[in-house]
Structure 1
Amino acid sequence: MATQIHNLTPDQLGLLPQLRASYLPPSLSTQPRQTFEELSQGLKNGSTDCLVNAEYTFEGSDGHTRTLRITAVLFRSEGIVDRMSVVLEVICICSDAEKCGWHGRSLVLKVSFPGVNREPEDKLIAKAQNTAQQKSAHWALNHLPNLLDSITLVYKDDTPQVKLREHSKAEGITGYEERAVHVAILEKLETLNTLTSMKGYAQIFYDILQIHRWLYEEAKILHRDLSPGNIMLRRIEDKIYGVLNDFDLASSIPRTGGATSNQCTGTRPYMALDLLDDDGWYFGHMYRHDLESLFYIILCFACRYEAPGKHCRDPPFSKWFTGTDADVLNAKNKFITRGQVSAIPIQRHFRFFELWLEGMFLIIRRGYRNQADYQDNQKQGVEFDQETLGGELTYQKVKTLMSSYNGEALETRWT
C-alpha cells in the first residue's frame, strides 16, 4: 500500500489540484528550477518547501482566470495528506492586470480539507460580512478576514478518497468522513509577534473578545478554536485592529440556542477544561468555552515570554503543550481548582495584565466550583446553568475586566 500511495500524483493525493511546477528563468528566481517530478516527490515526502515558486491557476467566481505564484509556506498543520491544512503566501502574476485586479498583490492562499457535510469556512465568513452590512455594523468588518475568492473541488473518480468512500459504502462501514479540497484566497494580515506595544496587545485581545461575541450574538456563529495563531491584526492608517481568523472549526448556532455541536474542538493548550474531558462532558461546545480559551491565550502570553516573541528559559505550563489530552486536563484542573491566584507566574514585562488574569482566573475557578457543587449535590428538579457555569463566566464580566489596561480605557468597538 505504501508503494502504491508513493506512486500517486499530487492530484490523486488531493493536495493542491491543478498545481504546476515553476519554470521561471534564473533571472526571475533565486530558487533552482524544479521539474514536476521533483515537485511530486517533495509533496510525497511530506515537505512543503518544494512548493515555493510553484504556480496555481484557477478560474475565479467572477469568471476570470488567475495565476498565483507561491512565495512562502506560512503554515502547515501536522497530519496525513487529505486532512492537513496548508497556508501559503502568494503573489498574483496575471498578465492582464487591468481585468485581474489582484496583479502584484501579496495574498494568502489557504488549502484545507473539510468534511463535505461541514459548513465551509468561506460561507461562514460571507455570512458574517453580510450580517455586518445588513445591520450597519461596519466596525465588525475591520475585525473579520477579507475573503477575496474561494473554490471547493471534489475529488476525481481515480483518487483514493473516492475509492475509500465507495468501499466503505459497499462494506457497510460507518464513520468514514468524505472530504473536499477547499481553496481560499484572502487578504494578507499581520501576526501578533509584529507588535511591541503592550497596550497594543491589550487592544487586540479586547477586540477579539468583542468581535467573537458579536459573531455569536448577531451573526449566530461560534468560532470554537480561539488560539494565538488565529488572532491576527490589521493596520488601517495609524490604528491597529484585532482580527479573528480561521473559521475552519466554526459553526452556526442552532436556532434553539445552546451548544453548536456535540463535537469538542479547539487547539489543545487553549481548550477549556470541559472539552478535554471526553468521559465527563457531553453538552458540546459552548460560548463560554471560547471565553476560557481567551484566558489561556493571555495567560500563556504573559507567563511564557520574557518579551514579545522571546520565550522564558523554563516556561510554565509546558505540559499543556506536550502532554496527552489526559495530561493537559489534569494539569489544567489542578491549576484552576488548587492553584493560587497570587502565584500566577506573570513575567515582569507583562505585569499590567495582572488584573485581567487574576480576575478571569477567579471567575473561572468559581464557575467550576459551582459546577462541582452541583454535581456532588445533584437533586431531581434542580437546574444548573452550564452556559455560564452558574452565572459566573459571562461576556459582560470579562468585558468589564478587559475594557481598560494599566488604568487607561481601551477602545470599545461594539457598544
Structure 2
Amino acid sequence: ILKEVYKIAQTYPDVRGHVPELVLFHIKEKSTSNIRVALGLKDAERAEQGGRALYITVFRKLIPITTLSGEEFLAAWWQVVKCHRALWKGGVLHRDVSPSNLMVYHSHDQYIGILNDYDLSSFERDGSRGLERTGTVPFMVVNLLTPDAMAGKVKHVYAHDAESLIWTLTWVSLRYEGGNLLSKNRPLEEW
C-alpha cells in the first residue's frame, strides 16, 4: 500500500510530505513456517501453506496530533483532511481514521500533519467484497456498524472516512486543552 501512496504523492501535492516517511524496510528471509517444520510442531505441514515472515519497518519519528492546540492543531488536521481526500482520489482507501493515526512532525517552524497507519487500507481498484469491517469503533460512521454492514451489504464510501475525520476533530477538541489531556471535566470519558 505504501508504494502506491508514495506514487500518489508524486502527483498530488496534498499527499507529498503528509504520509509517513519510510526510513528502513527489511524482510527476514526465514519464514516462521520453516521454524515450525524444524521444530517438528504438529501444525508444521499446515504452516507451510500460510507461514509468516518478520518485517522490520522504521519510519521518521512522529508525534501525536493531540500534542497541538489552536491554530497549529487545526492547520495540521486540515492538512490530513486534504491528504486523505487526495489519496482517496488516487485509489487508496485508508479506512481507519482515528486520533492515533493523525500525527505530526516539526519542520521549518511549523507542524506538518501526517495521515499514518495504512495496515487496514485497501485499493479501490480491488473492489469491495463488502466484508471489510475495519476502523476504530468510536470513530466509525454508524451505518458501518449495522447488521447490514456486518453482512457486507454497505459499501465503504468517502463520506464514511470524512465523517471519521469529523469525529476525530470532535474527540480531540473535547478531550484536550493546550495539547494536554484534560484531567477532569472530560465530556467523552464514557464514549
Question: Which category describes the TM-score, using the shorter chain as reference length?
Answer: 0.7 to 0.9
1:164 Cα deviation after fit:
4.0
Matched, 1:195 2:72: no
1:223 aligns with 2:98: no
Contact 1:251–1:260 (8 Å) recurs in 2: no
CA distances 1:21-72 after superposition (whole Å, capped 9, x unpaired): xxxxxxxxxxxxxxxxxxxxxxxxxxxxxxxxxxxxxxxxxxxxxxxxxxxx
- Distance change (3 Å), C-alpha of 1:131 and 1:192: closer
Given the alignment of the two structures, is residue 157 of structure 1 paired with residue 25 of structure 2, yes or no? no
Matching residue of 1:183: 56
Output the amino acid matched with 1:187.
R
Normalised to the residue count of structure 1, the TM-score between the two structures is: 0.40
Aligned pairs for 1:325-344 within 5 A: none
- The equivalent residue for 2:17 is 142
- Map residues 251-330 of structure 1 onto 2, 5 A cutoff: 251-254=122-125, 259=128, 262-277=131-146, 279-281=147-149, 282=152, 283-320=154-191
Distance 1:287 1:181, change over 3 A: farther
Q: Do the aligned partners of residues 295 and 227 (structure 1) sit closer, same or farther apart at CA in structure 2, a change above 3 Å counting?
A: same
Residue 254 of structure 1: SS of its match in structure 2? helix
Aligned to 2:117, what secondary structure does the other structure show? coil
Q: How far apart, CA to CA, are the structure 1 residues paired with 2:143 and 2:183?
A: 29
Structure 1 residue 312: deviation in Å? 4.9
Q: Which residue of 1 aligns with 2:77?
A: 205
Number of residue pairs matched?
183
Given the superposition, is the C-alpha separation of residues 156 and 139 from structure 1 closer, same or farther in structure 2, using an over 3 Å criterion? same
Name structure 2 gaps, 5 residues minimum: none
Could you tell me the TM-score, scaled by structure 2's length?
0.81
Which runs of 5 or more residues in structure 1 are unaligned? 1-123, 171-176, 321-415
8 Å CA contact 1:140–1:211 kept in 2: the answer is yes
Q: How far apart, in 2, do the equivalents of 1:163 and 1:157 lie?
A: 13
Q: Distance in 2 between matches of 1:165 and 1:206?
A: 49
Change (3 A) 1:163 1:150: farther
Distance change (3 Å), C-alpha of 1:260 and 1:147:
farther
Cα distance change on mapping 1:165 and 1:288 into 2, 3 Å: farther
Higher relative contact order (CA 8 A, sep 6+): 2
